[in-house]
């Protein structure tokens, strides 16, 4: 057997923790096929099966458990070494002024920011949660995570994922009123949220249908939809796991990109670079929920 490849062990650990190739793929931000290919390569290398494939999922064999123990020991050593180096690095302390929307702050960022604090405990993330665009030139924020079709040209950064939308309602509400928009009461985005392409499309789509409520918060609109007050448009990741029923997807051309941005003068700051690299890496694990519209 040749020297073990850490990437293969990383996929092995994800399989053991997720109990399936799909769970491992979500955790690693790779495809289902990549996980199975890595596992196959490792099993060919060691000359024995590392998992029993059962109806309930993948269960480690005795040999598989031995390699899982090796992988976990190596992971602990690697994590400890990385944290020691990061802790010694110059500039990885102080505040990062970070702005994002209420939907992202509620649905995606808690786990991401928790992991960031564990890696960089000397950096304080000062969050400004607003659906209005803050001015990075005036240092109202250092870093912005926002869905947009056109990021401000003076800011620098990159798109991390597409953010798809859907029309949603509670299942009982759909059974009572059907899927036709004209027969439902609607919950409409207001304020800054109403100005985007999806808001414009939704108002045209529902025509003269009744409006039950408006709000400048998608978190509030989701709660109203869950209570059966009406149907609404939401970023798809917000409806995941809520029990809300998808009525239809808006045209995918309306889906904005999720941009991570900073001011050009700040991009070489150690703590800003550490924060942006961490968020960008973590968002990969959310792409399946962010981009479900394959039509």
Query: Token digits for 32?
Result: 């289902």
Query: Token digits for 145?
Result: 């995570």
Q: What is the mean pLDDT of each run of 10 residues along the chain (295 residues)?
A: 74 89 87 89 88 86 90 82 55 87 93 94 92 63 90 88 95 84 85 85 89 93 95 95 93 94 85 93 92 86
Fill in the DSSP letter of residue 285. Answer: G
Three-state DSSP class for 35? helix
Residue 115 pLDDT: 94
Residue 32 pLDDT: 86
Q: In sequence order, which residues have a C-beta less than 8 Å from that of residue 64 and are 6 or more positions away? A: 12, 16, 49, 50, 51
Residue 140 pLDDT: 76
Residue 269 pLDDT: 84
Q: Which domains does the chain have, with CATH numbers?
A: 6-88 (1.10.10.10), 94-163+256-290 (3.40.190.10), 165-254 (3.40.190.290)
Closest CA relative to residue 100, chosen from 12, 219, 211, 6: 219
Residue 93 pLDDT: 86
């Amino acid at each position: 057997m040749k020297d073990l490849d850490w990437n293969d062990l990383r996929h092995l650990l994800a399989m053991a923790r997720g109990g399936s190739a799909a769970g491992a793929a979500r955790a690693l931000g790779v495809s289902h096929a990549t996980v199975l290919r890595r596992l196959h390569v490792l099993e060919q290398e060691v000359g024995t099966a590392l998992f029993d494939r059962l109806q309930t999922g993948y269960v480690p064999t005795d040999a598989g458990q031995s390699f899982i123990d090796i992988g976990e020991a190596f992971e602990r050593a690697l994590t400890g070494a990385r944290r020691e180096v990061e802790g010694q690095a110059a500039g990885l302390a102080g505040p990062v002024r970070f702005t994002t929307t209420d939907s992202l702050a509620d649905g995606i960022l808690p786990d991401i920011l928790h992991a960031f604090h564990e890696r960089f405990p000397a950096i304080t993330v000062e969050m400004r949660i607003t659906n209005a665009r803050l001015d990075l030139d005036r240092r109202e924020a250092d870093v912005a995570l926002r869905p947009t079709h056109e990021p401000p040209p003076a800011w620098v950064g990159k798109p991390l994922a597409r953010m798809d939308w859907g029309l949603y309602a509670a299942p009982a509400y759909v059974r009572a009123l059907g899927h036709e928009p004209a027969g439902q009461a609607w919950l409409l985005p207001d304020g800054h949220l109403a100005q985007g392409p999806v808001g414009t499309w939704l108002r045209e789509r529902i025509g003269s249908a009744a409006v039950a409520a408006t709000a400048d918060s998608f978190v509030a609109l989701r709660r109203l939809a869950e209570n059966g007050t009406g149907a609404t448009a939401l970023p798809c990741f917000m409806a995941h796991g809520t029990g809300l029923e998808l009525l239809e997807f808006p045209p995918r051309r309306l889906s904005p990109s999720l941009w991570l941005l900073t001011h050009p003068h700040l991009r070489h700051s150690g703590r800003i670079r550490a924060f942006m690299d961490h968020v960008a890496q973590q968002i990969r694990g959310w792409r399946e929920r962010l981009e479900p519209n394959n039509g």
